[in-house]
Chains A and B, each alone.
Chain A
Amino acid sequence: DTAVSQTPKYLVTQMGNDKSIKCEQNLGHDTMYWYKQDSKKFLKIMFSYNNKELIINETVPNRFSPKSPDKAHLNLHINSLELGDSAVYFCASSQVASGAYEQYFGPGTRLTVT
């Protein structure tokens, strides 16, 4: 049983296209996150949702729109993709929205924009 799963694992697309990444967790956690890891391995938070409510939005271009239909799912839609969007996107979850709890990461989605 995979705790945090993401689809797709790889995504190759052209500039200007729109794409979505899906994430699901079966841990019963209240909080989910999207992180971006660039080519230099720098891991940066993008968004956080707690029980379907957006609680963190870290100066991400509005081409990125997260959606959480329920607390077990968090999706990321990206409009008008740019070369600089190429990265690995990780979904993560934690029991609650607190730094006192560990985060569990999904396997990542490697996005390549050509």
Chain B
Amino acid sequence: QQPVQSPQAVILREGEDAVINCSSSKALYSVHWYRQKHGEAPVFLMILLKGGEQKGHEKISASFNEKKQQSSLYLTASQLSYSGTYFCGTDNAGNMLTFGGGTRLMVKP
């Protein structure tokens, strides 16, 4: 079942912060975060694993609440380059990602 992302869209000014949430109805093995710019491929940002391990870019931070089956992506001091659509992908059994509907982020000067 597809995870639910919120908000669906957000507009920021440069320097502002944002939080994107991802919620699943099933127990999670891992949560992935990807960013997709218009006309381009999704690009990996971060993986959060059951048990607490994280892998990803140093400038990106995220949390994973295993009990609540939720993850949040924190974008701080946003830059113009952060604009794009953010997808979370959830993995319940350790072998396949199901992506959420995406969160469109626009950062304005």
Contacts and interface: CB of A to CB of B under 8 A. Distances in A.
A105 B102 contact: no
B85 A90 contact: no
Interface residues of B, number: 26
A98 B95 CA distance: 4
Contacts of B101: 40-42
Given A99-B30, A100-B30, A103-B32, A45 B41 contact: no
B99 interface: yes
The secondary-structure label for the interface of chain B is strand
B48 to A, nearest CB: 10
B41 A97 contact: no
Interface of B: 29-30, 32, 34, 36, 40-44, 47, 49, 55-56, 85, 87, 91, 93-99, 101-102
Per CB-CB distance, the 9 closest pairs between chain A and chain B, nearest first, are A99-B91, A105-B41, A99-B30, A102-B44, A43-B99, A105-B42, A99-B94, A99-B29, A41-B102
